[in-house]
Amino acid sequence: MTPCNDQRVPVVLRRTSGDASPRQNLRRGISLIEVIACTAIVTVMVVPIASVIRASGQSIARSKTLSTDGTLRSGIRWIRDMIHDGQVVDVGSRNITLIQASGDKAEFVVSGNTLILTDGRTKTVLLENVESFETSLLKQSESPGRATGISIRLQGKSPSTGKAFDYRSMISLPNQA
């Protein structure tokens, strides 16, 4: 009997043991070469990360020791900018009084162990651990003896290291009437 064109006969194909591919078998473990390769890759990735962590720790430690120095320098720079933006009214031995660009009167003075800027309403802490803040007016040697600058001296001690500091700065005054 011959099948009609619209009838199909299912054909079942089976592999014999001789034509089975070697990749068809499922693996049950990892080879020693794969373990060594993965370990090498992880090691190559961990070494740079460890060096970055070590460098970060060193930079943090270095910044802690330099923080007092940097803070004092930025504080003196801030005082200089305030003096340049305003008009100096009075320079005492331990304070500076000036009129700010806004028209408000302000004063740099040490209170306890902090250098503060006070304008009568608010107090702004500029520097901490300041034991002494000394100022003096610098004048021309010739007549009429006009003020040309301000000498500032800051003394104190770092709380973290116990190291004493002594900073001196001379701030030139803009031509003031």
> Tens digit of pLDDT for each residue in 18-76?
555 555 566 677 888 999 999 999 888 887 887 788 888 777 776 666 566 777 778 88
pTM for this entry: 0.55
User: Distance between CA 94 and CA 135 in Å, rounded?
Assistant: 6
User: Distance between CA 52 and CA 65 in Å, rounded?
Assistant: 20
pLDDT of residue 36: 93
User: Contact at 8 Å (CB) between 10 and 3?
Assistant: no
pLDDT of residue 2: 56
User: Distance between CA 151 and CA 135 in Å, rounded?
Assistant: 6
Residue 95 has pLDDT above 70, yes or no: yes
Indicate the DSSP class of residue 25. S
pLDDT of residue 14: 62
Reported as a pLDDT band with limits 50, 70 and 90, residue 109 is confident
Mean pLDDT, the chain, rounded, equals 78
Q: Which of 10-14, 35-39, 142-146 has the highest mean pLDDT?
A: 35-39
Domain limits of the chain?
Answer: 66-172
pLDDT of residue 98: 87
pLDDT of residue 37: 93
Could you tell me which of 172, 124, 123 has the C-alpha nearest to residue 151?
172
**162-168 mean pLDDT:** 83
Helix (H) / strand (E) containing 108: strand 105-111
DSSP string, 115-132: EEEE-SS-EEEEEESEEE
